[in-house]
Structure 1
Amino acid sequence: MGLYTALRLQKKLRANEASVTIVDPQPHMTYQPFLPEAAAGAIEPRHVTVPLRKTLDRCHVRTARVTSVDPDAKLVTIETDGGSTEQLGYDMLVVALGAVTRLLPIPGLAEHGIGLKTIGEAVYLRNHVLSRMDLAASTNDPELRRKLLTFTVMGGGFAGVEALGELEDMTRAALKYYPTIKPEDVRWVLVEAASRILPEVRESLGVYTVDKLRARGIEVFLDTRAESVQGGVVKLSDGSEFASDTIIWTAGVTANPVLAKSGLPLDQRRRVVANAAMQVEGQEGVVWAAGDCAAVPDLSRTDDDPNATCPPNAQHAVRQAKHLAANILAVLRGKPATVYVHKNVGAVASLGLHKGVADVYNTKAKGYLAWAMHRAYHVAKMPTFNRKVRILFDWVGSGLLGREAVSMVHVAEPRATDAAEVQNMLPRKAFADQNS
């Protein structure tokens, strides 16, 4: 969200009209809809990131995290990884901190859960899943083998279903290199607390998706909550219990916690309260907010629900960024800001290679067509021509040559002597601090 706004301002600002500074703890922006494919090896992980300094060459980029905001003094406090702090003044502030994984108080989740919100988590997850197959192929202990080959995904939204579909495809394709592992030995489980999955599409497509997943041998638990995952043992609310050495947590997001220290007005979900022009209440024309961390009225739905706000998805974030940049330019040039109005055109989701569902302009699609629509839409929205081309080449390469089924766990700990030692050295908690 922040990169899209800065990129447009960079293109539209006149010489010496304004100076734009970007503050982000990472030197890149991550296009999150491609994380499942990066985790499954269909796309090179670096290609789903956009380097800030290269892309925003007319902006000032600070690699640091925001620790607090003082809207009265117009100051932002930032801190680098080295521990140094600094205060930055501003004339206008865009709050685009995004969202972080919502971690529920489930026993064992913080220690054993693996999120999928950052490129680091995607790489970790890919290496972890393949290393489980390596270890399972090298043991004769049936209970340990069963635990290693049981992969659990918690959360039936886009992130969970797409991660499940891509990773299950990857493990099934990798089986040709593991003659001692049979397809029926690999167990994938999806757990969803609601009565359906993919709430962003019509219910019939959610039912279709469940049927297709089950046809692939994937177990789907609906209306079921995780009660505990301590010790790698998953206990569900329906009484089911099984051992799983891989627990992928994608059950929702929450606004970035740094907003609690911002002094800005927040709603019940801790998002910044903004008007339809994306101006923060009480700070009109000075502080702006958009994307996953902002409660922006959804004017396309307020007739039915006066309190409706834009959902936290890529579709709204990209369009809000474009509109927000235009509003900032207008205010700089003495013109009024305009309201953001966008009617949701639908949603697309990948269920793995050549499989997907789509609900676009009240028209539904399934299978190969929906999968192609998913790829076409997201590569079109990927920032910069450079990244679009790289992703297209990745798809062609993986399509012609197949995905590389090799774990590189030593990348994180190059001095470790074997894969088991690496896994012991790595933190099982993979939820990253995503202040961006």
Structure 2
Amino acid sequence: MRVVIIGGGFAGYNTAKTLRKALPEETEIVLLNPTDYFLYLPLLPEVAAGILDPRRVSVSIPATLPGARLALGAAKSVDLQRKHVTYVDTEDNEHMLAYDRLVLAAGSVNKLLPIPGVAKYAHGFRGLPEALYLRDHITRQIELAASTDDPKERDARCTFVVVGAGYTGTEVAAQGPAFTAALASRHPELANQEIRWMLLDVAPRVLPELDERLGRAAGRVLRSREVDVRMETSISDADTTGVTLTTGQAVPTRTLVWCVGVRPDPLVEAFGLETAQGRLVVDTRLTVPGHPEVFACGDAAAVPDLTRPGKLTAMTAQHAERQGKLAARNVAASLGYGTSAEYRHHDLGFVVDLGAHQAAANPLHIPLSGLPAKAVTRAYHLLAMPGNRLRTAIDWALEAVSKRQTVQLGLVRAKNVPLDTDAPELPRGSR
């Protein structure tokens, strides 16, 4: 008996972890994932800002999921009739993986909008390579600004534009000024240079998903750090020289960070089944209609929200984690172990780290800001991470008492982190 799980994010990782406890040892559990680690996405902005070592947010799957086999690769197609998954491993070899039960937990990718130049010139923010590249890119812009005598070029290189004032975009913009200030402090040539961060969104306020008071608090923190926050504003195009805002204003820049949201992984389309908002339709027990052996959870699944009739659950880590656990329970029930259940989850609140001593949080819908929110935010992350807790706490402590390490590593090249994830795979020799 074999259960195959596609995706090792919040949904897939928790499916595998829960299944191993629910099924007998002779049941084979295979986790198909492009990397050998679970990525703790909420702390990615701190990797890009040089606070956390990238290994802190990447938790080894083989080390933390004993009893589950890792198939290293990316799913290419699914044959529902023959019950097998075709995938390509990290050396471009194609494999076929048969299953008795299948769980789709492929997650999501960057959401693109038809804005000229965005796919080519913007930097996404969904994975470790993107965070590492952005950290190098920001470092490089400050260093190149220090080496030029052209004031216009210097201004452009010292201007950083973030589009999207949701969780990720707000955290990137909040962490940015301290990072660039630390970089600039090492270059006397930039002593009087203005370093400008902009945060844009078509929404009327920062963090529109949260309580209005939290959004206002986050906005105040950003503005206190001289972040140029512009609501109900986005960009109309981008090129090598900068961006044009929807107001018509041209902003010279070499940095455009794209955080406007996510869309389901393109693998969903390969199933050829009914979708809703681009997500695979499932019932309240996370089963695909007409295919009782197939389950889906997380961002790739259109899960009915029983707490909000007629709506789908939001594409958040909180839902993905809990759906992964329930998918495991229901897969086990379908094999004769335990009973199945419907997915019903009330939102427990959110946390947003704003850098320094600031955060915004609403645990159990109690709005918090400042130091109390910061304490809750970091405690939540340490509890939620499936590993590396001590090392993460040590990195935070070091950041509080010492200077950041600000060097370019040069490990990730720009063309290896395309914003358009549907772009053709690069030849191996170009990596």
- Could you say whether these structures have the same fold, taking a TM-score greater than 0.5 normalized by the shorter chain as the test? yes
Counterpart of 1:418 in structure 2 is: none
Q: Distance in 1 between matches of 2:415 and 2:122?
A: 10
Determine whether 1:331 maps to 2:334. yes
SS in structure 2 opposite 1:64?
strand
Counterpart pick for 1:361 among 364, 367, 389: 364
The answer for the alignment partner of 1:255 in structure 2 is 264
The Cα of 1:126 is off from its aligned counterpart by: 0.6
Deviations 1:258-291 (A, max 9, x none): 1111133211x2101111111112223x111111
Give, in angstroms, the shift of residue 183 of structure 1. 6.7
Contact kept in structure 1, 2:173 and 2:227, CA below 8 Å: no
| Residue identity matched to 1:10 | R
Gaps of at least 5 residues in structure 1 are 413-424
Secondary structure of the 1:221 match is strand
Give 1:348's aligned amino acid. Answer: V
Name structure 2 gaps, 5 residues minimum.
1-10, 424-431
Decide whether aligned partners of structure 1 residues 100 and 213 sit closer, same or farther in structure 2, where only a CA change above 3 A counts: same
Deviations 1:50-83 (A, max 9, x none): 1222223312211111111121221111112333
Q: Distance in 2 between matches of 1:14 and 1:200?
A: 41
Match status 1:350 vs 2:338: no
- Percentage identity across aligned positions? 34
1:403 aligns with 2:427: no
The DSSP-based 3-state class of the residue aligned with 1:29 is: strand
Matched, 1:316 2:319: yes
SS in structure 2 at match of 1:357: strand
CA distance in 2, matches of 1:329, 1:103: 37
Q: 1:372/1:434 Cα in 2 relative to 1: closer, same or farther (>3 Å)?
A: farther
1:90 aligns with 2:91: no
CA-atom RMSD in angstroms: 1.9
Match of 1:277 among 259, 281, 285: 285
Superposition pairs for residues 63-212 of structure 1, below 5 Å?
Answer: 63-182=72-191, 185-212=194-221
Verify the 8 A CA contact 1:71 1:263 in the aligned structure 2: no
| 1:380 equivalenced with 2:383 (yes/no) | yes
1:210-231 CA-to-partner distances (Å, cap 9, x unmatched) read 2321222111111112100112
- Structure 2 CA distance for partners of 1:140 and 1:183, relative to 1, 3 Å: closer
2:77·2:270 contact (CA, 8 Å) conserved in 1? Answer: yes
Is residue 163–residue 256 contact of structure 2 (8 Å, CA) maintained in 1? yes
For residues 300 and 198 of structure 2, the distance between their equivalents in structure 1, rounded to whole angstroms, comes to: 30
Alpha-carbon distance change, 143 to 204 in structure 1, aligned in 2, over 3 angstroms? same
Give the counterpart letter for 2:279 in structure 1: R
In structure 1, the partner of 2:275 is 266
Amino acid at match of 2:238: V
- Whether the aligned pair in 2 keeps the contact of 1:121 and 1:431 (CA below 8 Å) is no
Distance 2:92 2:223 in 1: 49
**Matched residues in 2 for 1:310 and 1:138: separation?**
49
Counterpart residue number, 1:4: 14
SS in 1 for 2:251: strand
Displacement of 1:359 in angstroms is 1.9
Local SS of the residue matching 1:14 = coil
Question: 1:26 pairs with 28, 35, 38, which one?
Answer: 35
Q: Does the 8 Å contact 1:349/1:374 carry over to 2?
A: yes
- Tell me the SS of whatever aligns to 1:264: coil
* Equivalent-residue separation in structure 2 for 1:366 and 1:328 (angstroms): 40
Q: CA deviation at 1:429?
A: 5.6
Per-residue CA shift, 1:330-349, capped at 9, x if unaligned? 22225441011110011111
1:431 aligns to 2:419 (yes or no): yes
C-alpha distance in structure 2 between counterparts of 1:168 and 1:432, whole Å: 27
The one-letter code sitting in structure 2 at the alignment partner of 1:406 is V
Task: Find the residue that maps to 2:138 and give its secondary structure.
Answer: helix
Match of residue 14 from structure 1:
24
The residue type paired with residue 251 of structure 1 is V
Quote the Cα distance in structure 2 between the aligned partners of 1:256 and 1:184. Answer: 42
What is the deviation of 1:134?
Answer: 0.8
Q: CA deviation at 1:297?
A: 1.3
Q: Using the alignment, how far apart are the partners of 1:79 and 1:396 within structure 2?
A: 41
Q: Give 2:6's aligned residue.
A: none
Cα distance in 1 for residues equivalent to 2:219 and 2:414: 34
**Does the 8 A contact of 1:21 with 1:60 survive in 2?**
yes
Of 170-179 and 275-284, more deviation after overlay is shown by: 170-179
- Note if 1:301 corresponds to 2:304: no
| TM-score, length of structure 1 as denominator length | 0.90
